[in-house]
């Protein structure tokens, strides 16, 4: 199978090699089960294998075979919970193979193709529609934060102390305080960056041809931008903007990060210091993955700790 280069990292572990070995069989079985015509994989893949597909009636879809990590375990549940409101719609799910059949966003333009402030306008309109009350089976943010607190010191030592101890101490303190003092719990997404929001204007095309008023209603309910690839938790709203604040897609500099922090906190009615604290804690927790260090995430933590 011609895998995207972004999936090369999975070859480094026995679990990853086992997943790669199973992919051709699972792909064939899913295509047969759902009567799909499947094309070559999308190249921009890092945590799953995603392929364009067509249903028997010609409907465009995406077949996604997830790498079996914990963060994406409940992606299908989150998409079912949102039921197509501000997020792509789940068409079918095979839990045993971690396979999802999804509607396809067309044209699928990523949000980061917009100028940064226009992209933030979209986020301000989209996020409140994703903040739905939720419980089981989603992992609580407090539980996930306890795992980060437990693992971060060991990961830091194992990686050769790739950043200053003060960053680790600050992140641990912030996570401990924030996790135990949260507000109302809603469905939040650990990975809602500007590459995981896509243009879906074509979803309104048929309605537009038939009835302009119907098209307006459909666009208001669903588009023109939809979230994809959720890594869901239940937690307070302030946590949900963390990936957008830290993500490099809309600019990677102290000024760009602080601007996103200020705009999103203010316009979404969030406590700026809680957003800042969650961004520091979560970003540092995600700055190490096995033997890989992500320097740009460590830079964001420094910038936010040294601000004000």
Q: Which of 224, 259, 229, 232 is nearest to 244 (CA)?
A: 259
- Tokens 């203010």: give the residue: 266
Residues 6+ apart with CB under 8 A from 117: 263
Q: Is the dihedral of CA 302, 241, 76, 6 positive or negative?
A: negative
Q: Of 37, 59, 39, 36, which Cα lies nearest the Cα of 49? A: 39
Active-site annotation holder among 191, 229, 290, 291: 191
Distance separating alpha carbons of residues 259 and 191, to the nearest angstrom: 19
CB 292 within 8 A of CB 271: no
Q: Which residues contact 193 (CB under 8 A, 6 or more apart)?
A: 243, 244, 247, 249
CA dist 137 and 234 (Å) reads 10
Sole residue written with tokens 């045993």 = 96
Q: Which of the 8 DSSP states describes residue 63?
A: E
Active-site residue, 211 included: no
DSSP letter, residue 253: S
Q: Which two tokens stand for residue 153?
A: 């010191």
Assess contact for 250 and 256: CB atoms under 8 A. Answer: yes
* Catalytically annotated residues: 191
């Amino acid at each position: 199978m011609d895998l995207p280069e972004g999936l090369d990292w999975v070859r480094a572990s026995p679990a990853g090699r086992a997943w790669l070995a199973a992919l051709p069989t699972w792909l064939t079985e899913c295509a047969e089960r759902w009567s799909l015509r499947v094309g070559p994989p999308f190249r921009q893949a890092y945590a799953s294998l995603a392929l364009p597909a067509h249903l028997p009636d010609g409907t465009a879809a995406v077949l996604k075979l997830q790498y079996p990590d914990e963060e994406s375990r409940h992606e299908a549940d989150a998409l079912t919970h949102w039921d197509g409101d501000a997020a792509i719609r789940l068409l079918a799910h095979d839990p045993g193979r971690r396979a999802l059949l999804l509607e396809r966003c067309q044209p699928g333009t990523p949000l980061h193709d917009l100028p940064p402030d226009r992209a933030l306008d979209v986020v301000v309109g989209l996020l409140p529609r994703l903040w739905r009350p939720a419980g089981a089976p989603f992992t609580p943010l407090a539980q996930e934060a306890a795992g980060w607190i437990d693992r971060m010191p060991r990961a830091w030592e194992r990686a050769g102390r790739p950043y200053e101890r003060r960053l680790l101490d600050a992140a641990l303190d912030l996570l401990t305080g924030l996790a135990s003092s949260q507000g109302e719990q809603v469905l939040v997404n650990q990975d809602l960056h500007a590459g995981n929001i896509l243009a879906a204007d074509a979803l309104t095309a048929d309605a537009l041809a038939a009835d302009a008023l119907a098209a307006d209603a459909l666009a208001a309910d669903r588009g023109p931008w939809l979230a994809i690839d959720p890594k869901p938790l239940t937690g307070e709203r302030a946590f949900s903007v963390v990936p957008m604040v830290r993500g490099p897609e809309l600019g990677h500099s102290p000024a760009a990060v602080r601007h996103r922090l200020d705009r999103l906190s203010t316009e979404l009615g969030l406590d700026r210091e809680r957003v800042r604290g969650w961004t520091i804690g979560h970003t540092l927790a995600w700055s190490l993955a096995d033997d890989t260090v992500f320097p740009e995430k460590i830079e964001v933590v420094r910038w936010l700790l040294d601000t004000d």
